[in-house]
Amino acid sequence: MRSFPSMVDMRRDKEETPDKFGVLPCGTEAEYDYGLGLSFNEETLEKLELDEDVHVGDYIHIHAFAKVTGVHQNPGEDKPDRVDLVLTHIASEDEDDEGEEDDE
């Protein structure tokens, strides 16, 4: 049976984290690379069935773990129109290996 790849913590090492960055666009925290930030618009949130139940600090599993860093909602609306995320842990595998069985 094929096993799921291990999650890798994407947090920068202390010496890799420049103090000057603070919070980067999309709410990406300085302890994570800029490219790990995501922002889902209203249509994407609806497709993924992520609605008013999403809060800052929640984790969402998308074959990666993403920390919610921002929830944006128009006044008077009951659902967010955008949610910002930073990928904190990612599992990856070579697509060429897809479908092969583990030898274990």
Residue 31 lies in a domain: yes
Residue 84 makes CB contacts below 8 A (sequence gap 6+) with 26, 27, 28, 37, 38, 39, 68, 69, 70, 71, 72
Q: Which domain holds residue 53?
A: 8-94
Residue 14 lies in a domain: yes
> Residue 104 has what pLDDT?
47
State how far the alpha carbon of 28 is from the alpha carbons of 4, 39, 47, in Å.
27, 10, 23
Residues of the chain short of pLDDT 70, as ranges, are 1-2, 14-30, 93-104
User: Considering its fold, how many domains does the chain have in total?
Assistant: 1
> Residue 68 has what pLDDT?
92
> Residue 56 has what pLDDT?
87
> Residue 75 has what pLDDT?
92
Residue 40 lies in a domain: yes
Residue 99 lies in a domain: no
Predicted TM-score (pTM) of the model is: 0.61
